[in-house]
Every structure is written in structure tokens, then in C-alpha cells.
Amino acid sequence: MAGTIYQYRNCRILWRGKLTWEDLWVRDGVIQDPRELFFTEKKSPQEQIDCKGLIISPGFIDIQLNGGFAVDFSSSSDIEEGIDKVATGLLQYGVTSFCPTLVTSPSHLYKELLSKIKRRPGSACKGAAILGVHLEGPFISAKKKGAHPEEHIQSPGDGGFQTVASVYGGDLSHVSMVTLAPEVEGSGEVIRELVSRGIVVSVGHSVANLTEAEEAINQGATMITHLFNAMLSFHHRDPGMVGLLTSKKTKCDQIYYGLIADGIHTHPAALRIAFRSNPNGLVLVTDGMSAVGLDSGEHKLGQLMVHKDGMKATLAGSDVLAGSVATMPFCVRHFYKNTGCTTEEALECATLHPARCLGLQKKIGTLEYDCDADFVLLNDALEVQATFIGGQNVYSASDCCL
């Protein structure tokens, strides 16, 4: 038996790239085509919700999140409880789905954690959906290790994918993305095998030149991890991986790239350069770590300690950036204010683009008919007022007008 029909009215919905004064119709956790309801089923809404002029956007998607709320995914002793804590905490930030990200770690830790972190849908009791694990390392360059412990960095070498499978523990069924450096020995075979298993390969933490990066894309990689960070700087004779944004020598129709728009990792001018070079591939990521949502002080990232000072997180005793403490709505607002993009473009960088990157655009990241009713209500300042998963209100701000 079909469930209750909800009509969200007096709102601007992000519909096919434009904010449009339209109603949003939901039934059984799925977005409905009102024409089908009216003309085919002869149905009217059972409940109408006045949105008071708010924006309705698809729920935010974060494909690179290392933890938050004192939980570090790469070291949590009770990872299931930690995942639940982060997943529910993210709802206040409008995030309805995410990829728990594991930084470079010892092999035994991968095997333990990957046996416990599973894909699952979002819900009121469990929080944001888990889209699969993002494995950031250990097959990266020690020269661009960032906040990754060098003693655990590895190369596939002659063993190729067998080495990778051994390090991760064999079962990759709940892995959605792997970041690796394209110049490491054996990377070509590894990329091909991962892609054949439906895993997105992202290039990052690398000293690859543009030719090496293009070869990785032609082997099947489709993503760049946190552009500008942990890679060779742009140079006019060899732009390195940054050059992938405008490369004409790859077989990939659309290269995606993560961007940390937290005001710390990436200068506003760099945000503008990236966006104007390749707007459709830009994916906002937080790269958030355990200190997200917490006060300044000492926190953990994998095997290392991190010091949070305001909006900046660095490896303890150094000035090396160690992930971010920004939230997704903060990144959306910062990106919007500093690039000259439209509101719609800023929102799609946190919704449609990450969904497309993972091949999930027919289910999430959009308000198209038959997609999951995962959405967020925002005011004109792009501040989260309410979050919905499967059409159910899972968070409301204290001053929400609904």
C-alpha cells in the first residue's frame, strides 16, 4: 500500500541546475513526479509543509571524511560506535551520505576496520548513509605524505594488485574509492583491477608529472584527491596533476577533483582557477578529521597526533596541515563567496558532482523523480535549517521556521 504523500511548498528547489519556485513531492522516501500523482493516480497530498521560502537542496555528500566528534576512523577501537556517532553528528551539517576515509595505516588495522565498516542507507536512528570506504593510502609517495605516517607507506611493486589485496585484507566489497600515487611501481595494474571491481580510483599524495597522471587516467582513474594539496605545484612547463583539469590526452570524459574550500588548504585564487578550468568536475570535500565539532587542542588522525587551533589542524609540533576541521556547509559558503559562482553551482559541487563521481547520480545528489528523498533546507545565507533522509526529518535547527 502506497504511503503518505508529502508536498513541500513555498520553496526554491535545486532542479536541473537552477533554483526554481516549485513544490517537492515525496512518498515512501522517494521523490515523486506530481504529474503522475495527479493525472495517473488521481492523488492529492495528505500533508503539506510550508517551507517559508527556504531553499531545498539535495543532501550534501562528503567523499573524504577522516572522522569527527572525537572519532578517528583510522584508529577507533570501537569503529561501529564511532561510525554511528559521526553519521548522526553530520546531520546538523546537512550531510546525508559520506565515505569514511582511512589514512595510511598498518595492514592489520585495514583488515580489522574494513571488516566492520559496511555500506548502509541513512536513517533517523543511524544518521547519514555510508557510501563505502575511501582508502587514502598506503600506496602513495613518501615525498608527498602530508599527515600520513611514512613507515606505513608502501608500493605495490612486482606483486601488483596481489600486494594491494594482501595489505587491505582481501575483501574490498565495501570500498568505494582508493587514492594512490600514479608513479608508484605497479600502479597501472592496480588501477585496472580496482576499476574492474567498481572502485573509483583517485590520484593523489604524489609527485607525478602530467604524463604519468594522464597515463593513470587512461588506465581508469577518474578522480584527483584534494587538488593542489600533497602534489607537485603547478609549473608552466609541466603542470603536474593540476594539468589534468584541462588535459586533452585522456580517454576520460569527465575528470573529477576534490577541493578543500576551508580557507586554509586552498587560496581563493586557486579555487577560482580550478573552478573556471573545470567547473563540472569540482567536488567539495571537507577532509575533516576527529577534531570536527570540537574545541581547539590535541586530537588524533590515524597513527599521529594533531593540534587544532581554531580552523587550522596541523601535525603536533609542526606546521604540516593534517586534514581539516571545516564542515560541508562552511565549505559551500566559502566557495560561493570566493569564486563568483552561482548558488546553484556551489550546491552542486557538494551534491550532484560527488554523486556523479561515485556513479550514484540516479539515487542521490539530485532532486530528480524516483531519487531518494535525501535533502536539506537552507536559508539564503546557506545555513542548514533542516535535514531529511528518506523524506524523514532527522535534524532541525533551533530557529527553524518549519
Angle at which helix 328-339 crosses helix 268-277, to 10 degrees, equals 80
DSSP string, 146-159: TTS-GGG----GGG
In angstroms, the CA 401 to CA 39 distance is: 32
In angstroms, the CA 243 to CA 166 distance is: 33
Q: Are 137 and 205 a contacting pair, CB within 8 Å?
A: yes
In angstroms, the CA 92 to CA 209 distance is: 40
List, in order, residues 6 or more apart from 124 with CB less than 8 Å away. 389, 392, 394
Q: Quick one: which H or E segment has residue 378?
A: strand 375-378
In angstroms, the CA 291 to CA 371 distance is: 33
295 is catalytic: no
Q: Are 226 and 201 a contacting pair, CB within 8 Å?
A: no
How do beta strands 12-15 and 18-21 pair?
A: antiparallel
In angstroms, the CA 175 to CA 111 distance is: 12
Phi then psi for residue 96, to 5 deg, are -105, -10
Cell of 375: 535533502
Q: Which of 61, 77, 22, 155 is nearest to 360 (CA)?
A: 61
Q: Are 102 and 146 a contacting pair, CB within 8 Å?
A: no
In angstroms, the CA 43 to CA 22 distance is: 18
How do beta strands 282-284 and 256-259 pair?
A: parallel
In the set 62, 72, 262, 287, the catalytic residue is 287
Cell of 66: 577522516
Locus of grid cell 613507515 = 151
Active site amino acids: 287
